[in-house]
Structure 1
Amino acid sequence: MILRPRSHFGWGASAADYANPTKGLVVHYNGGPTSLRTVEDCIRYWKGVRTQHMSGNGWADIGYSFGVAVNGEVFTGRGLNRYQAAQGTTSGNANYYSVSLMIGGTEQPTPAQIQAVKDLRAYLMARGNSGTVLGHRDFVSTSCPGGVLYPLVKDGTFTGSGNGTPTTSTGTGEYRPENGDGLYMLYEYGDAIKPLQPKLGVTSDGYYGPGTEAAVRAYQQANGLTVDGIAGPQTLTHLGLTAPAPAKDSGVVEWPGVYLKDYTAHTSARTWQQRMKDRGWTITVDGKYGPASARVCLAFQKEKRLTADGIVGPDTWRAAWTSPVT
């Protein structure tokens, strides 16, 4: 399946809470007909849904785990291991992934969309999900996923054989992992992770599973690094690896190479201050990193369990764009 990461839509890491959905996949639809014809239509629609869910509903992110465009591409919403806002019940949102097919009313799913749901199911099953497929109406009183899709849920159409290996847009090769934010963390995958694993003594399979995370934590602990289980610039550099730069469309601003500490006056100080203000911190955006900015930095570092020194280095800078807002 062609799996589009969040970075494809200009989004960084999801701010939704962590969850471990293992019980199945829930099918949704648009509601009313949307007359989406092309993948470009679907991208605009997907971005609009996220805006509506966050601005209109006040949610932390788009409500769905994934979406399926009319051409069969799978769009990442909240993605793996995130609490949902789609099923309408606490148990449903915590224990099931969700997928919204980008059709509505009496519009028919394309063969590519049907296959994409099968592929997504296989992808999730490889990551510990049961493979059960339900409809939104199995949780709450609603017409979703509509009179066209719900019969396909009930007759087992979506539980057919699927190829759960993500590919690039050309259909070949393994998709680059994560959100394009330059960090490798739990449940991400891709060839870029493989060089890290033998240095930690774990199988080089490109899957950042619990074993790889545990090995990263052990390495960080043994070498006096920040212990967070995430292979970021500090850990990768210590291992002799080159930390990947954030993707241009990831929404993450690359670290400018300037350490911000007391009385640093630099354009990057203004950029960081504005980002922290956008995250809800009370901070003056003036491009001058003085004691007040350092106090915000120190509090932020303690909250995110970073090295608490009041200095904005590469890890603290990256966390300002990639860590969930809490």
Structure 2
Amino acid sequence: MILRSRSYFGWGPSGADYANPTRGLVIHYNGGPTRIRSHNDCITYWKSVRRDHMNNNRWADLGYSWGVCRHGEVFTGRGLNRYQAAQGTTSGNTGWYSVSLMIGAGEEPTPEQIQAVCDLRAYLAARGNSNKMFGHRDFVSTSCPGDVLYPLVQEGVFGRPGNGTPTSSGGSGEYRPENGDGLYMLYEYGDAIEPLQGALGVTVDGFFGPDTRAAVRGYQDSHGLEVDGIAGPETLTSLGLDEVEPAPDSGVPAWPGVYLKDYTAHGSVRVWQQRMKDRGWRIRVDGRFGPRSERVCRRFQKEKRLAVDGVVGSRTWSKSWTAPVT
């Protein structure tokens, strides 16, 4: 399948929270007629969906994991390992990936679109996702994915064999984006993961699958590190590998190098306080790390099984952006 990355649309990695969907793929559609014809129409449409979801719905990103254009290309939305905003329920958004076909009421999917969904399903299955396919209306009361697409879901049309090896141009070879956030975790993939696998003595294929996670957990346990199966700064440094700094467009601000504690007054305090408020913590965003900020910090560290010291260092800072909201 032709997989278009977020950078294809001029976007950095999604700012949505981490999740690990494994239960299947949910089919969506646009609703009203799209009247899309050209490939440029598809690109314009996908960008407009993101603007609408972020500006009007106030979501962290567009709601879908992926979109499929009329020409059979898969457009990345939130992408792998991100919480959804599409299914309408917490369990649906956490456990299922979503794909929106770029058609609306009364419009028929093209054969290329149908095949692209089959390819996407195969792609996700290779990364630990179930082959189950549902429609949006299976989760909440809605007309989505419409009276044309939903029967195809029920009939198993989207369960046909697919080619799950993505390319960026229609040629051979897998498209391999880097994760960009400075952490390597389950079902991510990219060339940067290969040195980690080599150091752990597992198959070097650039895919952070269950075997790699098990090796990471085993190494962490035997070396007195937090056992979370995620290769972050502490694990990489212990392995003698370079610590990965978050990319500028990853959505994870680099640690400012300032320990937030004891009434620290620094611009990074306000950034961290706002992040914690966005995650649902009751905290005042005032740019001063006082007793209330310390209490939130300690509770967050305990929840995420970090060293509880009430100080925002590099580990707590990173987890404030990358740990799932619980």
The answer as to 2:118 corresponding to 1:86 is no
Structure 2 residue identity aligned to 1:281: W
Q: State the 1:196 CA deviation.
A: 0.3
* Corresponding residue number in structure 2 for 1:248: 248
**Counterpart contact for 1:9–1:43, Cα < 8 Å:** no
Distance 1:33-1:300 versus aligned 2 partners, 3 A rule? same
Q: Secondary structure at the match of 1:105?
A: coil
Q: State the 1:66 CA deviation.
A: 3.0
**Counterpart contact for 2:80–2:188, Cα < 8 Å:** no
The answer as to 2:227 corresponding to 1:223 is no
Mapped to 2, the partners of 1:154 and 1:140 lie a distance apart of 16
Structure 1 residue identity aligned to 2:217: R
**Counterpart contact for 2:26–2:98, Cα < 8 Å:** yes
Bigger shift: residues 305-314 or 3-12: 3-12
* Corresponding residue number in structure 2 for 1:11: 14
Q: Secondary structure at the match of 1:188?
A: coil
Cα deviation digits, residues 187-222 of structure 1 (max 9, x gap): 212221111012112211222122211221222222
Mapped to 1, the partners of 2:265 and 2:94 lie a distance apart of 45
* Corresponding residue number in structure 1 for 2:107: 107
**Counterpart contact for 1:53–1:61, Cα < 8 Å:** no
Q: State the 1:325 CA deviation.
A: 2.8
The answer as to 2:175 corresponding to 1:174 is yes
**Counterpart contact for 1:67–1:99, Cα < 8 Å:** yes
Percent identical pairs in the alignment equals 59
> Please, which runs of 5 or more residues in structure 1 have no aligned partner?
none
Mapped to 2, the partners of 1:139 and 1:310 lie a distance apart of 40
Mapped to 2, the partners of 1:278 and 1:203 lie a distance apart of 39
Distance 1:237-1:265 versus aligned 2 partners, 3 A rule? same
* Corresponding residue number in structure 2 for 1:304: 304
Q: State the 1:246 CA deviation.
A: 2.3
Count the aligned residue pairs: 317
TM-score by length of 1: 0.80
**Counterpart contact for 2:252–2:321, Cα < 8 Å:** yes
Q: State the 1:54 CA deviation.
A: 6.0
**Counterpart contact for 2:22–2:130, Cα < 8 Å:** no
* Corresponding residue number in structure 2 for 1:281: 281
Distance 1:53-1:102 versus aligned 2 partners, 3 A rule? farther
> Please, which runs of 5 or more residues in structure 2 have no aligned partner?
none
Mapped to 1, the partners of 2:270 and 2:88 lie a distance apart of 40
Q: Secondary structure at the match of 2:124?
A: helix
**Counterpart contact for 1:246–1:252, Cα < 8 Å:** yes
Mapped to 1, the partners of 2:296 and 2:89 lie a distance apart of 36
Q: State the 1:99 CA deviation.
A: 1.9
The answer as to 2:19 corresponding to 1:39 is no
The answer as to 2:197 corresponding to 1:197 is yes
Q: Secondary structure at the match of 2:32?
A: coil
Bigger shift: residues 95-104 or 2-11: 2-11
**Counterpart contact for 1:119–1:162, Cα < 8 Å:** yes
Q: State the 1:305 CA deviation.
A: 1.4
Write the mapping of 1:201-216 to structure 2, written as runs, cut at 5 A.
Answer: 201-216=201-216
* Corresponding residue number in structure 1 for 2:22: 20
Q: State the 1:105 CA deviation.
A: 1.6
Structure 1 residue identity aligned to 2:15: G
Mapped to 1, the partners of 2:144 and 2:226 lie a distance apart of 45
* Corresponding residue number in structure 1 for 2:78: 77
Q: Secondary structure at the match of 1:219?
A: helix
The answer as to 2:175 corresponding to 1:183 is no
Distance 1:243-1:169 versus aligned 2 partners, 3 A rule? farther
Structure 2 residue identity aligned to 1:41: Y
**Counterpart contact for 2:259–2:312, Cα < 8 Å:** yes
Structure 2 residue identity aligned to 1:14: D
Distance 1:158-1:285 versus aligned 2 partners, 3 A rule? closer
Structure 2 residue identity aligned to 1:4: S
Mapped to 2, the partners of 1:130 and 1:251 lie a distance apart of 28
Q: State the 1:64 CA deviation.
A: 4.1
TM-score by length of 2: 0.80
**Counterpart contact for 2:14–2:61, Cα < 8 Å:** no
Write the mapping of 1:122-201 to structure 2, written as runs, cut at 5 A.
Answer: 122-129=122-129, 131-136=131-136, 143-150=143-150, 152-153=152-153, 157-168=157-168, 173-178=174-179, 180-201=180-201
Mapped to 2, the partners of 1:85 and 1:73 lie a distance apart of 17
Mapped to 2, the partners of 1:276 and 1:93 lie a distance apart of 21
Structure 1 residue identity aligned to 2:294: A
Q: State the 1:168 CA deviation.
A: 4.3
User: RMSD value over aligned CA atoms?
Assistant: 3.5
Distance 1:83-1:20 versus aligned 2 partners, 3 A rule? farther
